[in-house]
Structure formats: structure tokens, C-alpha cells
Structure 1
């Protein structure tokens, strides 16, 4: 009985191993291969996630603006601005004038330049007596008249860009149109030079005149010509502006020593050109 039990246990498969190989050498080789595979799997790193290539940034075109390293005379500055604006002959020539204004005071004036730098003519209305209507129209006014014209402006039938008046009809104009024309800044006033007894002289001054004023820093910006102007015409306009600024809006003689304000610095530029400091300007 004991021999039979021993024989059955010998034939039963071993439970200590999952697999039994008849060849011990093959068993050792398989175990070694599985161990090396497990070690390689542990050492292997996961594949890195692929990142999307960044989109190329758009190239910004930088416009290089020429800057004058030194100051120039008026003819040289005008010649340079003309060369830079050769494809735009209608561009404006502008100046920035720095004055010795003190505090919050504002300098302003009205000036008629030797050659008007503005391109388009404005629609001018002249309030005057019936006997001066024909004279005003011949002198270049778009409309001229008295009480009837005042009502047409009030009703919106006439839309002027500038208004002039004689001293006799001014009270009626102010009484009726002060709020209407005052909002647009075209109400006739003695301080602005838009009230004149001489109709022809008033229109002649008004067509070429413009109002300038300084900012809080004492800088006056104004147009003194166009690219197609000659250097002599631009220089005459600039000198007329500087004389008017020195007198605080009043006409000052070139040889007058005592002036109200001094000119500290003048810069000239065009519509798309650089700013050039003008030298040789008397304070």
C-alpha cells in the first residue's frame, strides 16, 4: 500500500512550478530571456509627446524715417522736403513755432499771408446794406444781403463757411444768429477782423486770412505753403507769420525792437516728411 502511494505521488505533476521542462538547460535559457525582457521593459522610457511646431510670427515692416542731424536754412529745408514729397505736389508745408508764452495765457491772431496756402476757396457770406450787395458780390462774396439773408441762414437754406458783416447790420446778426453761428465759430466779430465798413477790403483780407492760436505749451502750428510753392514764397509766408506771432496777433514792423513775444524755435515739416529745425531765425 505504501509503495502504491509513493508511485502515485511521483506521477502527479509538481504544483510548485507553473511549467516543467524535461530539459533543465532549456528551462534556464527561457527564464533568463524572460528576465532580460522584463528588465528592458522597465528601462524603456515612454515616447515623448510630439509638440506642434510654433507658427511663424508675421514680419513687421518698420518704416525708417529720415531725421536731420543738424538744423538747416529755409531754402535747404524746403529743397529737402520737396525731394521727399516729389510724388505728392499738393502736400502742405507746415511749421511749429515755439514761443516764450508764460502761464495759461493763449496767443492768437489773424493773418493774411502773401500767398494763401489753402487749396480750396471757402463760401463767404457778407451781411451788408442793400446798396453794398453788388459791390460785395463783385469782390468775391458767395452771398450778400441783409434781413432776408439772415432768415435764409436761420432756416438752413444758406450754409456759409465764413461770415462777414458791416458795423451797421452787426447788432441784428448777433441778436438773431448768435447761437446758430457761434457754435460753428463763424459769427462776425470785431476781434476776428470779420467786421469792416469797406466791403472790398474786408473780402480781400478774409479770403487769404486764417486764425492761428497757441497751445498750452506755447507752440503755434500753421501751414506756410504747399510743395509746389517756390522757396521764396514759403519764406515770405513764414516771415509774415513770425512777425504776427511776435506782436501777439498784431502787425509788427520788421525793424520794431520791442515785441510782446519771442520766437525760441521753429521746425518745418511736410505731410509725410521729417521735422527739420530752421536756423537763423531771429527771436
Structure 2
């Protein structure tokens, strides 16, 4: 039987028997047990009634969290000429074309978001097997294939979060830090849930949003009453 440390045991005891809490109650519980020596990320997981293997049940999108994520996002941009200059001026961390492709192919991926101008997609397309599994592939549906690289870079840096359903129909993301004010975390959580709700695919049948849970980086999770998060 696994032996847990003192902090883990205490957290498990605090969470025991608690489920389907309101957003505010869940935040208070998670924050109260986020005792790591660093500022833990508050993470959300939504179990959806979809099978992403079917094209008409895929859930993906992007949402700008009203209070940001608290995370420093490194942005890479595939662009040339004036658009490359525009990306650099907007604060992109890495800007390139074939040279950036070669860097990624060598296994060096030092960014959290990848943006590309449309003319760069023949180059970016060669990186599908590398960027795709990491959810880093630029996509026009979430605004990362665009000529407006300035707006895309600023959005990524300003707390925009991309989401995509995994094989089991689970969507997860970081929605802030444990140091955030409770009200700001609640606002971020509801904004994220609302975005996923609006991204409901045409092929979804039955209950769409089955379960919502939040946790801190090092802590256990607690389920949230869906109505509390959706306002329904």
C-alpha cells in the first residue's frame, strides 16, 4: 500500500466526503490546501459527453480568461519579412521560418504557443507529428493561423487559453494561480466553462457537461456542481 507524506494525507482528509461543491466552496478548499513552496496552478478538468474520434463530436476552442492565467507564456511565430518584425515587436519570444522548423525538428521546443501566417503553413505542416500531439499546431479555428500576428501574440501573452477534448472526452486547462483572489479565480472558471459550453459540437448527444473538477498542481481534485459553474 502506498505511503503518503504528511501534506498529502492532510489534503486527502480535508477533501474526504466533499463533492459537488459550489465554485466558491471548491476554490476555498483547493486554495486552502495548496501548500507547495511555489505558487501552484489551479487546474480545471471537464468530463464531456462526447467521443472526439468522431469529427462531429470534437470540442476545441479558445477563451481569453478575464484575469489571465498567471503564467508567463512563451510564443513562437512562423513569419517572414514585415510580419516577422511585427511579431517581434509584439513580444514574440521566437520568430523564424525554415530555421525555426529545423530547431523544432531537432527536438528543441521552447514555447507554449505557436502562431503562423498562412503562407508559412507549408513549412509548419511538416511539423504536424511533433506539434500536433502537444496541442501546439497552429490552427485558423483558434486564431493561431493569421495575418494579424500582433493581435495573436498579444492575446497569447494576455491570458488566452486554448482547449481541446482528449480521447476520453476530457478538456483540461490552467485557469489561474493559487495566489489569485477567490473572486478572480471564480470569474476565470466560469468564463472557461462558458467557452466550452458554447463549443458544444453538433454531434453531442445526451448530457454534454458530465463533471467538472478543479485541483491545484500538487493537490487532490474536488468536483464542482455543474449548475454552479454554468449558471443553469
Q: Is the shorter-chain TM-score for this pair beyond 0.5, marking a shared fold? A: yes
- Whether contact under 8 Å (1:150, 1:177) holds in the other structure is no
The RMSD of aligned alpha carbons is 3.6
Instruction: State the Cα distance separating 1:88 from its structure 2 match.
Output: 4.5
Looking at structure 1, the residues matched to 130 and 51 of structure 2 have their Cα atoms a distance apart, in angstroms, of 34
Q: Structure 1 stretches (4+) deviating beyond 6 angstroms?
A: none
Q: Does the 8 Å CA contact 1:246/1:261 hold for their aligned counterparts?
A: no
Residue 234 of structure 1 and its aligned partner are, at CA, apart by: 1.0
More helix by share: 2
Report what 2:228 is aligned to.
Answer: 280
Larger Rg: 1
Checking the alignment, whether the CA contact within 8 Å between 2:115 and 2:145 is kept in structure 1 is: yes
Bigger CA drift: 215-224 or 227-236?
215-224
Structure 1 contact 116–225 (Cα < 8 Å) conserved: yes
- Within the candidate set 52, 57, 60, 1:108 is matched to 60
Superposition pairs of residues 119-134 of structure 1, within 5 angstroms: 119-122=71-74, 124-134=75-85
Structure-to-structure mapping, 1:115-194, within 5 angstroms: 115-117=67-69, 119-122=71-74, 124-146=75-97, 149-150=99-100, 153=103, 156=106, 159-161=109-111, 162-174=113-125, 177=127, 181=131, 186-194=136-144
Aligned equivalent of 2:24: 75
Q: Paired residues, what number?
A: 212
1:226-265 aligned at under 5 Å gives the runs: 226-248=177-199, 262-265=208-211
SS of 2:150 mapped into structure 1: helix
C-alpha distance in structure 2 between counterparts of 1:154 and 1:245, whole Å = 30
Find the aligned partners of 2:27 and 2:47 in 1 and give their Cα distance.
19
Distance in structure 2 (CA, Å) of the matches to 1:189 and 1:103: 17
Which is richer in strand?
2
Unaligned runs of 5+ in 2: none
Q: Quickly say closer, same or farther: Cα 1:214–1:65, change in 2 above 3 A.
A: farther
SS of the counterpart of 1:134? Answer: helix
Q: Is the 8 A contact 2:27 2:186 kept in 1?
A: no
> Quick one: higher RCO (CA 8 Å, sep 6+), 1 or 2?
2
Gaps of 5+ in 1: 1-59, 251-259
Report the Cα distance in structure 1 between the residues aligned to 2:171 and 2:4, rounded to whole angstroms: 33
